[in-house]
Amino acid sequence: MKSPINLNTKGLTLIELVVTLIISGIVIAGVYRIFVAQSKAFSVQDQVVEVQQNVRSAVELVLRDLRMAGYDDYSANSTVHGYESCCLSCFQQFHLGELRVL
């Protein structure tokens, strides 16, 4: 009669190691795909923000020109007088950073 072989059950078999590596590879590949997708989404959002900022600047320039239409501070025949003239002057100082609030 043969004596039973005492196997060491504390270690990993080759099959267990391969299965663990395959599962780990699938998880890492999934994380990588999510990272790539988020990177592309960030890139697109960054471009959208840049376009929106450019449009905002252009609209601000157009608004400033429209508000200043007909305003001539040095002419006595200016079509803008009184309150509107004061508001436009404050508006100019505000955009130039010269307006001080006490």
The model's pTM: 0.48
pLDDT in tens, 65-89: 888 887 766 666 655 544 445 555 5
pLDDT in tens, 26-71: 999 999 999 999 999 999 999 999 999 999 999 999 998 888 887 7
Domains of the chain by residue range:
16-58, 68-102
* CA 42/CA 56 separation, integer angstroms: 21
Asked if residues 95 and 64 have their Cβ atoms less than 8 Å apart, the reply is yes
Asked if residues 67 and 84 have their Cβ atoms less than 8 Å apart, the reply is no
The H or E element that residue 23 is part of is helix 14-67
